[in-house]
Structure 1
Amino acid sequence: MTSASTTTPASPAPADTAPALSEGEQERLDTAVSELHTGTAVWAALTLAQRATLLRQVRTAVAAAAEDWAHTAAASKGLDERHPLRGEEWLSGPYSVLGALDAYVETLTRLANGVNPLDGVRVDRAPGGRARVHAFPLTGIDRFLLSGFTGEVWLEPGTTPGTARATAGLAQRTPTASGGVGLVLGAGNVTSIPVLDVLYELLAHNRTALLKVNPTQDALVPVYKRALAPLIEPGLLRIVRGGPAAGAYLTQHPGLAHVHITGSAATFDTIVWGPSSGKAAAATKRRRREDRPLLKKPITAELGGVSPIIVVPGAWTAADIAYQAEHIATMRLQNCGHNCIAGQVVLLSSDWDQADEFRAALRRAYAKAPERPIWYPGSPARMQTATDDYPDALVLGDRLLVEIDGDDDPTALETTEYFAPVLGVVSLPGTGQEFLDAAVAHANEKLQGTLGANLLIDPATEKALGSGFERALTALHYGSIAINAWTAFGFITPTLTWGAYPGGTIADVGSGLGVVHNALLLDRVERSVLRGPFRPFPRSLPVANGGGRLTILPTPPWFVSARTGAAVSEGLTRHRATGGVRGLLRTLLLALRA
Structure 2
Amino acid sequence: MTAEAVYDMTPATPAELDAAVAQLATGIATWAEMELPARAELLRATQKTIAAEAGAWAGAASAAKGVPSGSYEGEEWMSGPAATAPMFAEYATSLEKLAAGKSPIDGLKLSTTATGQTKVRVLPEDLKDNLLFNGFVAEVWLKPGISAEQAKASAGLGAKAEHQNGGVGLVLGAGNISAIAPLDAAYELVAFNRASVIKLNPTFQHLKPVYDRALAPLIEADLVRVVNGGAEVGGYLTNHPDIVHVHITGSARTHDAIVWGVGKDAEKNRKAGTPQLAKEMTSELGGVSPIIVVPGSWAKSDLVYQAEHVVTQRLHNAGHNCIGGQALLISADWDQKDAFLDAIRTVLREITPRAPWYPNGQASIERAKATYGDAAEQVGSCTLVTLGEDSPTELYDGEYFAAVLGITELPGLGADFLANAVAFSNDRLDGTLGASMIVHPRDIKKMGARFDELVAALRYGAVGINVWSGIAFLLGGATWGAFPGHTLEQVGSGIGVVHNTHLIADSEKTVVRGPFHPFPVSYLKGEFTMAPTMPWFVTAKTAAKSGKALAAYGGKRSWGNLLKIFPPALRG
Q: Which TM-score bucket, shorter chain as reference?
A: over 0.9
Matched residue pairs, number?
Answer: 560
SS at match of 1:87: helix
Please give the alpha-carbon distance, in whole angstroms, between the structure 2 residues aligned to 1:221 and 1:422: 31
Quote the residue 1:366 is aligned against: 348
Quote the residue 1:68 is aligned against: 56
Please give the alpha-carbon distance, in whole angstroms, between the structure 2 residues aligned to 1:552 and 1:519: 33
Query: Does 1:527 pair with 2:509?
Result: yes
Query: Does 1:229 pair with 2:211?
Result: no
Question: Could you list the runs of 5+ residues in structure 2 that have no partner in the other structure?
Answer: 1-9
| Alignment TM-score, normalising by the size of structure 2 | 0.95
Please give the alpha-carbon distance, in whole angstroms, between the structure 1 residues aligned to 2:499 and 2:564: 30
Quote the residue 1:190 is aligned against: 177
Going from structure 1 to structure 2, the CA distance change for 1:480 and 1:383 (only over 3 Å counts) comes to same
Pick one of 242, 253, 261 that aligns with 1:255.
242
Going from structure 1 to structure 2, the CA distance change for 1:367 and 1:586 (only over 3 Å counts) comes to same
Q: Counterparts of 1:124-143 in structure 2 under 5 Å?
A: 124-143=111-130
| Alignment TM-score, normalising by the size of structure 1 | 0.91
**Deviation for aligned residue 1:83:** 2.5
Quote the residue 1:415 is aligned against: 397
Quote the residue 2:542 is aligned against: 564
Query: Per-residue CA shift, 1:79-123, capped at 9, x if unaligned?
Result: 24x322110000000000112112111111111112211111111
Pick one of 401, 408, 419 that aligns with 1:426.
408
Contact 2:353 2:380 (8 Å CA) reproduced: yes
Contact 1:410 1:426 (8 Å CA) reproduced: no
Quote the residue 1:305 is aligned against: 287
Query: Does 1:211 pair with 2:224?
Result: no
Going from structure 1 to structure 2, the CA distance change for 1:31 and 1:552 (only over 3 Å counts) comes to farther
Which is worse superposed, 469-478 or 107-116?
A: 107-116
Contact 2:173 2:249 (8 Å CA) reproduced: yes
**Deviation for aligned residue 1:68:** 0.4
Please give the alpha-carbon distance, in whole angstroms, between the structure 1 residues aligned to 2:11 and 2:345: 54
Query: Does 1:441 pair with 2:436?
Result: no
Question: Could you list the runs of 5+ residues in structure 1 that have no partner in the other structure?
Answer: 1-21, 276-280
**Deviation for aligned residue 1:584:** 4.7
**Deviation for aligned residue 1:399:** 2.2
Quote the residue 1:588 is aligned against: 566
Contact 2:141 2:508 (8 Å CA) reproduced: yes
Counterpart of 1:57 in structure 2: which amino acid?
A
**Deviation for aligned residue 1:369:** 2.2
Going from structure 1 to structure 2, the CA distance change for 1:69 and 1:33 (only over 3 Å counts) comes to same
Pick one of 437, 442, 446 that aligns with 1:455.
437
Query: Does 1:466 pair with 2:448?
Result: yes
Going from structure 1 to structure 2, the CA distance change for 1:252 and 1:354 (only over 3 Å counts) comes to same
Please give the alpha-carbon distance, in whole angstroms, between the structure 1 residues aligned to 2:105 and 2:527: 33
Going from structure 1 to structure 2, the CA distance change for 1:253 and 1:103 (only over 3 Å counts) comes to same
Please give the alpha-carbon distance, in whole angstroms, between the structure 2 residues aligned to 1:332 and 1:583: 30
Counterpart of 1:70 in structure 2: which amino acid?
A
**Deviation for aligned residue 1:55:** 0.7
Q: Counterparts of 1:268-279 in structure 2 under 5 Å?
A: 268-275=255-262
Contact 2:134 2:519 (8 Å CA) reproduced: no
**Deviation for aligned residue 1:271:** 0.4
Contact 2:384 2:404 (8 Å CA) reproduced: yes
Counterpart of 1:398 in structure 2: which amino acid?
S
Pick one of 298, 316, 319 that aligns with 2:301.
319
Quote the residue 2:373 is aligned against: 391
Please give the alpha-carbon distance, in whole angstroms, between the structure 2 residues aligned to 1:552 and 1:27: 58
Contact 1:78 1:373 (8 Å CA) reproduced: no
Counterpart of 1:381 in structure 2: which amino acid?
A
**Deviation for aligned residue 1:372:** 1.8
Quote the residue 1:179 is aligned against: 166
Please give the alpha-carbon distance, in whole angstroms, between the structure 2 residues aligned to 1:115 and 1:552: 42
Contact 2:246 2:280 (8 Å CA) reproduced: yes
**Deviation for aligned residue 1:69:** 0.3
Please give the alpha-carbon distance, in whole angstroms, between the structure 2 residues aligned to 1:563 and 1:241: 35
**Deviation for aligned residue 1:582:** 5.8
Contact 1:557 1:568 (8 Å CA) reproduced: yes
Please give the alpha-carbon distance, in whole angstroms, between the structure 2 residues aligned to 1:121 and 1:545: 38
Pick one of 100, 110, 114 that aligns with 1:123.
110
Going from structure 1 to structure 2, the CA distance change for 1:24 and 1:69 (only over 3 Å counts) comes to closer
Q: Counterparts of 1:261-300 in structure 2 under 5 Å?
A: 261-275=248-262, 281-300=263-282
Contact 1:131 1:161 (8 Å CA) reproduced: yes
SS at match of 2:309: helix
Q: Counterparts of 1:481-560 in structure 2 under 5 Å?
A: 481-539=463-521, 554-560=532-538
Contact 1:403 1:426 (8 Å CA) reproduced: yes
SS at match of 1:381: helix
Quote the residue 1:402 is aligned against: 385
Going from structure 1 to structure 2, the CA distance change for 1:553 and 1:163 (only over 3 Å counts) comes to farther
**Deviation for aligned residue 1:147:** 0.8
Identity score, percent: 46
Contact 2:118 2:142 (8 Å CA) reproduced: yes
Please give the alpha-carbon distance, in whole angstroms, between the structure 1 residues aligned to 2:433 and 2:304: 27
Going from structure 1 to structure 2, the CA distance change for 1:587 and 1:526 (only over 3 Å counts) comes to closer
